[in-house]
Amino acid sequence: MSEQPIKVALLAPQDGSPVAAAEGLDKRKDLRLTKRSEHLSKVNGTGVALAQSHDIILFHADSVNDADLKAITGMRAEGKSAKLVAIASDAMKVTDLYRLKNAGVAEVIPDSITPDDLYQQLMSYARAAAPAAHAAPAALPHMRRGRVITVTQSRGGIGSTTVAANLADQLQDRRRRFSKTEPNRVVLVDLDIQFGTIAAAFDAPPNEVLYELAVNGDIPDAFVVEEALHRLESGLSILTAPDQFAPLDALKPEQLKALVANLRLRFDYVIFDLPRALVDWLAPLIEETDLMLMVTDTSVPSIRQARRLINFYTEENTDLEVQIVVNRESKPTFKRSHHKAAEKVLERQLLHWLPEDPHAAGRALDHGVPLSKAAGRSALSKSIYRLGRAAKKSLDETKKQPKVVKE
């Protein structure tokens, strides 16, 4: 028996801003779209019936008034009710955003979202609301889930942030000069909420969103995530660490889970630069990680610490693939005895090697640009490029057997 289509009501008044992101929804076979050319506040007595006969009500919001809030609370007050999803304009005030959420709107997403991303969001909302009817993985082969790469370090100062920043830059794959396909969509997230330096690496402003989440305890939705991202000229999106100091244990696991879920729907690759400390809110991220890169050197203390961290992370995700990145050391023609001893301790190959190149690294940092722009022909930049290609190949090889999504 085929799955029942998801019933979506779209309220898009002709005199309001067009909902360009909703274009083509009526052509989706697994959606049944009802269009109504009216404001949310004008549904009057039909609002409750609309909510009871649909799975999702999608409406546009330039601003919020009392009539809108009354309509929302009216729909939410009656038994079985649709999930309310607002498409908000960039002009919406933060106070209006919170008024919508408090009234019962489940999600607020930006009107800059693409039609494909909106469709994927609607499908994910429906799956969460009715897992028995819509959660079967075989019924949703079109769902795009970006691959998650976490970058960690065996010791402080080993250069994991440099690796994360330049890996994210390389994964955009902008070198395909004659390809008609778009570059990969990549986002880089700085999770070191106390001492993160991703902002400095790209000469970008700090972002207070992670601090505000830590203080307020809010669960980030698609709108919050979209507003938090800073897009670089290269096309890379970044979420930088806050300027204000926040306790490392202030974030909650459910906040990270929501952040990861929203980013995976929007990007092909999601790179997280992990903090040095081990905190419990990292658990859902580790569970979702497709590939972890452990940045280290080959000194005995670093290798021992790397082994301890690998043990910790693989307890959270027994299927976690951890690859070793040896920083500031050129790949030897023949591995020496201490290299072989390190591989024995780690139970993994020293797979990736990044040579010492302080001139190229310093030039990139001073100019706030990636190595590909500051010193594209340097040995370090070429090694980062090879790391990106190897990581992509490794992820592509495991893509045929996607991880089971834990609801």
Q: Which of 158, 162, 157, 182 is nearest to 172 (CA)?
A: 182
- Show pLDDT as tens, one digit a residue, over the chain (407 residues): 345 788 888 887 755 455 677 778 888 888 888 888 777 777 655 677 777 788 888 888 777 788 888 888 777 765 456 888 888 876 677 777 777 877 888 888 887 788 888 888 888 776 665 443 333 333 333 445 799 999 999 999 999 999 999 999 999 986 655 555 678 999 999 999 988 999 999 999 999 889 888 888 888 887 788 888 999 988 999 999 998 887 888 899 999 999 999 899 889 999 999 998 889 999 999 999 999 999 999 999 999 999 999 999 999 899 999 999 999 999 999 999 999 999 999 999 999 999 999 999 999 989 999 999 999 999 999 999 999 999 999 998 876 554 444 44
Q: What is the structure's pLDDT at 52?
A: 78
Note the pLDDT of residue 298. Answer: 97
Q: Where are the beta strands (DSSP E) in 24-137?
A: 31-36, 56-61, 83-88, 107-110
Residues in the chain, overall count: 407
State how far the Cα of 316 lies from the Cα of 295, in Å rounded to an integer.
Answer: 19
Please report, for residues 9, 204, 272, the alpha-carbon distance to residue 208 in angstroms, rounded to integers and kept in the order given.
35, 13, 17
Q: Which of 292, 266, 306 is nearest to 184 (CA)?
A: 266
Q: Facing residues of 110 across strands? A: 88
Enter the pTM of the model: 0.68
Question: What pLDDT was estimated at residue 130?
Answer: 47
Count of beta carbons in the 10 Å neighbourhood of residue 279: 17
Sign of CA dihedral 105, 107, 112, 117: negative
Instruction: Output the pLDDT for position 140.
Output: 35
Domains of the chain plus CATH, in order, are: 6-139 (3.40.50.2300), 147-398 (3.40.50.300)
d(CA 353, CA 328): 8
Distance CA 227, CA 209 (A): 9
Residue 123 confidence (pLDDT): 81
Distance of alpha carbon 205 from its chain centroid, rounded? 19
